[in-house]
Amino acid sequence: MKIAVIVSTFNWPEALQLVLTSLLQQTILPDEIIIADDGSDEATRHTINLFRKKFPIPVRHFWQTRNGFQKTLIVNKAVAATRCDYIIQIDGDIIAHPHFVEDHMDAAEKGFYVRGSRTLLDKYTTLEFLHQNRSRKIFPFSSGIKNRLNSIHHRSLSQMFIKYKRESGNVHGCNLAYWRKDFVAANGYDNRFKGWGHEDIELAARLVNAGVLQKKIKFTAVCYKLPHD
């Protein structure tokens, strides 16, 4: 099974540095990383080029002209371009736990898409990451965490909380995984979405209607979300 991590981003290269740093520190690297860029300026391109030199795997950059919020369109382009079997999708404001990719590999199951959780960081902790200490470690009892339960990483405990559902309304695109063939069968994201909204939930609804059910995981595939306007 070949795995691609798709990172959607727009004009926040400082956060993208944190995302790519966390992916560089994974216990198991994916087969490729694809940056789905919704019209960022040259600072983002420069950041990606710097990190390309650090990774032993391909880091690919797909860019489109900015025309409002069109994450759906650029992610569709990214999925169309990869030949990996399995997609782990995150946003450009996510710091991944070191076992994030490995956990998603373990959670992958035919006939299901995976819905992960996120830990919300407060603005002060985010500023520290961005401007002072990018290598700071986060623990379940660290300061600056708003929903502490989601920051616990415990593989054995996670097995007790796996839920299989015909569900789509609780999906976050910042921690989502699916088989590429299922994404294609559901016809991907709806390109008519312009502006931030429920594009991830709508995708999940069509996956469910295509016979792909949700596998909800907890205490594994942990990630930390940076707040922003």
Domains and CATH numbers, the chain: 3-225 (3.90.550.10)
- State pTM to two decimals: 0.94
Reply yes or no on whether the pLDDT at 12 is more than 80.
yes
Q: And the tokens for 178?
A: 């699916």
8 Å CB contact between 180 and 82: yes
**Tens of pLDDT along 163-192?**
999 999 999 889 999 999 999 999 999 998
- Burial classification of residue 89, based on how many CB atoms lie within 10 Å of its CB (0-12 exposed, 13-18 middle, 19 or more buried): buried
Residue 40, phi then psi, degrees to nearest 5: -70, 165
**Tens of pLDDT along 96-138?**
999 999 999 999 999 999 999 999 888 777 777 777 656 667 7
Q: H or E element: which one contains 114?
A: strand 112-115
The b/e string for 13-30 (b: 16+ C-beta within 10 A; e otherwise) is bebbbbbbbbbbebeebb
Note the Cα 224 to chain centre separation in Å: 10
Task: Report the C-alpha gap between 35 and 8 in whole angstroms.
Answer: 6
Closest CA to 97 of 229, 224, 216, 196: 224
Closest CA to 1 of 162, 178, 216, 183: 178
Residue 91 confidence (pLDDT): 96
Question: pLDDT band at 4, cuts 50/70/90?
Answer: very high
Task: Report the C-alpha gap between 7 and 75 in whole angstroms.
Answer: 9
Reply yes or no on whether the pLDDT at 11 is more than 90.
yes
Q: What is the DSSP track for 54-69? A: T-SS-EEEEE----S-
Task: Report the C-alpha gap between 39 and 166 in whole angstroms.
Answer: 35
Residue 77 confidence (pLDDT): 97
Residue 84 confidence (pLDDT): 98
8 Å CB contact between 174 and 223: yes
Q: What is the DSSP letter of 136?
A: -
Reply yes or no on whether the pLDDT at 196 is more than 90.
no
Reply yes or no on whether the pLDDT at 85 is more than 90.
yes
The b/e string for 133-155 (b: 16+ C-beta within 10 A; e otherwise) is eeeeebeeeeebbeeeebbbbee
Q: H or E element: which one contains 214?
A: strand 213-216
Residue 34 confidence (pLDDT): 98
